[in-house]
């Protein structure tokens, strides 16, 4: 696989990079991470991602790393990939710092999504805003359902978040999404979309969308997908793009 890794400041090809087998990041999944995009060697929104990483370290009892070193490594890794790059920054409980840069699959951007609903449960020990590495259960849910994403629903019947994304719904021309109140991961992409909506004069409400609909359109948002329409949910066909989503994506409005 094309790409580069920087482990504790040492640059390595992906097939030679690794961490100690005794590191809790390996044995327990005890780590925190951030994923961001770089274009032509320039990381996008790096400050916001590192701010969130600091919060995750604090809450997950992961040793923080020197911010200047992190910024340096991210920039070095980003410059190794031509065009669009996907950068993942991982910090482990064992004190290991890993930055991985690979080419970004730009075809994922805005690509239609197949999803199912799943059950969201609040973790009693780690706040929802912590982006930690213990994601096996969510990954298994996606793999078993053979879909792109599982959209998680709370006990009130409202969408909370996706396994790798934020959820947005358009109802009667109004954009709805769960407030970033600490219960869920604060999506940097969703924040950017809300700012764009404000600039475009699109009405928004920080209110969890009803998981049963009806919606004008249902979307997910993430770093690699930007905003993408859910076109199949639990086997039911959905409308796909609507004018609000198209405006947010910068696509022509039909």
pTM: 0.93
DSSP-assigned letters across all residues of 97-122 = EEEEEEE--GGGTT--EEEEEEE---
Q: Where are the chain's structural domains?
A: 4-104, 108-249
Is the separation of the CB atoms in 97 and 8 below 8 Å?
A: yes
**Neighbour count for residue 34 (Cβ, 10 Å):** 23
| Residue whose C-alpha is closest to residue 229's, from 127, 151, 141 | 151
Is the separation of the CB atoms in 230 and 241 below 8 Å?
A: no
Specify the fold of 108-249: D-amino Acid Aminotransferase; Chain A, domain 2 (3.20.10)
Q: In Å, how far are 47, 93, 228 from 97, measured between CA atoms?
A: 17, 10, 31
CA torsion, points 215, 154, 112, 137, in degrees to nearest 10? Answer: -170
> pLDDT tens-digit profile of 145-169?
999 999 999 999 999 999 999 999 9
| Residue whose C-alpha is closest to residue 230's, from 108, 147, 110, 113 | 113
The number of CA neighbours under 13 Å toward the Cβ of 53 is: 26
C-alpha–C-alpha distance, residues 11 and 25, integer Å: 20
C-alpha–C-alpha distance, residues 190 and 167, integer Å: 8
**Element (H or E) spanning 153, and its range?**
strand 149-153
Q: In tens digits, what is the pLDDT along the chain, a chain of 254 residues?
A: 789 999 999 999 999 999 999 999 999 999 999 999 999 999 999 999 999 999 999 999 999 899 999 999 999 999 999 999 999 999 999 999 999 999 999 899 999 999 999 999 999 999 999 999 999 999 999 999 999 999 999 999 999 999 999 999 999 999 999 998 888 988 999 999 999 999 999 999 999 999 999 999 999 999 999 999 999 999 999 999 999 999 999 999 87
C-alpha–C-alpha distance, residues 210 and 6, integer Å: 43
Is domain 4-104 in CATH 3.30.565.10, yes or no?
no
């Amino acid at each position: 696989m094309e790409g580069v890794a920087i482990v504790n400041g040492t640059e390595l090809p992906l097939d030679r990079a690794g961490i100690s087998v005794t590191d809790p990041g390996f044995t327990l999944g005890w780590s925190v991470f951030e994923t961001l995009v770089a274009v032509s060697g320039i990381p996008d929104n790096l400050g916001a991602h590192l701010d969130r990483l600091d919060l995750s370290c604090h809450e997950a009892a992961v040793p923080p790393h020197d911010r200047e070193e992190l910024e340096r490594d991210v920039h070095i890794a980003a410059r190794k990939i031509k065009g669009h790059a996907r950068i993942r920054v991982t910090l482990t409980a064992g004190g290991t710092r890993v930055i991985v840069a690979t080419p970004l699959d730009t075809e994922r951007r805005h690509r239609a999504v197949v999803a199912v609903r799943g059950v969201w449960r609040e973790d009693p020990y780690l706040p929802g805003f912590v982006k930690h590495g213990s994601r096996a259960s969510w990954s298994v849910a996606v793999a078993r359902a053979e879909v792109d994403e599982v959209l998680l629903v709370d006990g009130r019947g409202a969408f909370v978040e996706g396994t790798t994304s934020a959820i947005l719904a358009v109802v009667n021309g109004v954009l709805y999404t769960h407030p970033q109140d600490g219960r869920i991961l604060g999506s940097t992409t969703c924040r950017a979309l809300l700012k764009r909506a404000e600039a475009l004069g699109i009405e928004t409400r920080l209110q969890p969308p009803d998981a049963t609909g009806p919606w004008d359109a249902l979307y997910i948002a993430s770093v690699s997908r930007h905003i993408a329409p859910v076109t199949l949910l639990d086997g039911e066909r959905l409308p796909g793009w609507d004018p609000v989503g198209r405006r947010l994506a910068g696509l022509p409005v039909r």
